[in-house]
Structure 1
Amino acid sequence: MPESELPEDVLSEAERLTRLARDAVDPDEAEAYRSARDDVVGEYEFRARHREEDDVLVLHPDEWVDDDGIVDPAEIDDVDRGIERPLSGTGEDHEWSAVEEHNAACVAAVAEEHGAAHAANARAFADFLGNHYVRRIETAGAPEVLEFVEEYYPRNAWPTAEQRSLLPESLELLFDAADAEVPEYN
């Protein structure tokens, strides 16, 4: 597979902002996330859109787009320059190890700075997100956090009373370690 014209950190940020826009309740907030995403990829002369029917982020070079904002097939020189990134689903097995390595580093940071109870909660969320969605901590949206808090955590994490009482704070610490904010899930 050819190397993308967009650096991996730019792709990850575009995915994160697209998920935040997708999950936002307030239309102005969603537009702000889309605008930030467009600025990030625009620096590389790319355009982004969310194909809602299959929940995929689609990115393509500006030169493929005509004045009306429509991709002109005559301008496509190499289809491999286009990028599609699924925003949900289980992902590929080879992606899981990279996701797990990243999420484990975030959990380790929580453990080192905040102790075992917070680390156990962080590990439970990392396991949930990695095993069920093959996603990095910072890419989780409100639906995934809500599913974790309401369904997965009570049934699968076997938390102590202390861990249960610390869960909201633990999620804040974990997202901080991933340099992101916890999406509003209540």
Structure 2
Amino acid sequence: MTDLPREVVDAAERLTRLARRAVDDAEAAAYERDRDERLDEYGFTARIRESDDTLVLHPAEWLDGDTARMDRIEDTDRAVEVPLSGSGDPEEWDDVETHNAEVVAQVAERTGEIHAANARAFADFMGNHYARRVETATAAELEEFLTEYYPRNAWPSEEERDAVTQSLEHVFAVTETALPEFTAARR
């Protein structure tokens, strides 16, 4: 389990995206400085893994200068990975986020906070990883969400974990879309 609170991870992602959209280098540097200062409070640092365009947040103690030292890494679950890929069009990403936030609000209104929290985690996954609306998820993406993203990035309560599959059903019901069949161990 990571040492970073979810709100710090969310802020780091938001500031990284703002830095990418910045119109000049000074603005981008200011966003990155803000992100780095927030992470530093928890002893973490950020880097972009270029091979798959992922923001990686990990303990600064893993580094010797700019090089990760494998002998210093005891528990890789302390790191957080936030995919940044998508269409690359900031306006499209904003449209996707607006749509997905509306779906989350509808889930909250119909079913309550536990399902809303899971819907928000799924919206973050689909928006940030694929820059797509929640109802466009494939079976493989649902499996990836449940087995990879959710346990490592959502920090669910026991109640949220127990309800996550039903929460996905609510997301698809709100969007009036059929839920794809998937084979991941349902929680």
- Scaled by the length of structure 2, the TM-score of the pair is 0.51
Question: Which residue of the partner structure matches residue 39 of structure 1?
Answer: none
- How far does residue 127 in structure 1 lie from its aligned partner after superposition? 0.3
Percent same amino acid among aligned pairs? 55
Question: Which residue of the partner structure matches residue 168 of structure 1?
Answer: 165
- How far does residue 171 in structure 1 lie from its aligned partner after superposition? 0.2
Q: Distance in 1 between matches of 2:156 and 2:124?
A: 14
- How far does residue 94 in structure 1 lie from its aligned partner after superposition? 1.4
Question: Which residue of the partner structure matches residue 155 of structure 1?
Answer: 152
Match of 1:90 among 62, 86, 90: 86
Q: Tell me if 1:130 matches 2:113.
A: no
- How far does residue 90 in structure 1 lie from its aligned partner after superposition? 1.1
- How far does residue 154 in structure 1 lie from its aligned partner after superposition? 0.3
Q: Distance in 1 between matches of 2:161 and 2:179?
A: 17
Gaps of 5+ in 1: 1-88
Which amino acid in structure 1 is aligned with residue 136 of structure 2? T
Larger radius of gyration: 1
- How far does residue 181 in structure 1 lie from its aligned partner after superposition? 1.7
Which amino acid in structure 2 is aligned with residue 160 of structure 1? S
- How far does residue 138 in structure 1 lie from its aligned partner after superposition? 1.4
- How far does residue 114 in structure 1 lie from its aligned partner after superposition? 0.5
Gaps of 5+ in 2: 1-84
Q: Which residues in structure 2 correspond to 1:70-109 (within 5 Å)?
A: 90-91=86-87, 92-109=89-106
Question: Which residue of the partner structure matches residue 179 of structure 2?
Answer: 182
Aligned CA RMSD, in angstroms, stands at 0.9
- Scaled by the length of structure 1, the TM-score of the pair is 0.51
Which amino acid in structure 2 is aligned with residue 161 of structure 1? E
Which amino acid in structure 2 is aligned with residue 107 of structure 1? V
Say which SS state the counterpart of residue 142 (structure 2) adopts: helix
Q: Tell me if 1:117 matches 2:135.
A: no
- How far does residue 143 in structure 1 lie from its aligned partner after superposition? 1.2
Say which SS state the counterpart of residue 132 (structure 2) adopts: coil
Which amino acid in structure 1 is aligned with residue 91 of structure 2? H
Q: Distance in 1 between matches of 2:178 and 2:153?
A: 24
Q: Distance in 2 between matches of 1:147 and 1:168?
A: 13
- How far does residue 122 in structure 1 lie from its aligned partner after superposition? 0.2
Q: What do residues 3-57 of structure 1 show as CA deviations (whole Å, max 9, x unaligned)? A: xxxxxxxxxxxxxxxxxxxxxxxxxxxxxxxxxxxxxxxxxxxxxxxxxxxxxxx
Flag as ranges the 4+ runs of structure 1 deviating above 4 A.
none
Q: Tell me if 1:140 matches 2:157.
A: no
- How far does residue 179 in structure 1 lie from its aligned partner after superposition? 1.3
- How far does residue 182 in structure 1 lie from its aligned partner after superposition? 1.5
Q: Distance in 1 between matches of 2:182 and 2:92?
A: 26
CA contact (8 A) 2:135 2:171 kept: no
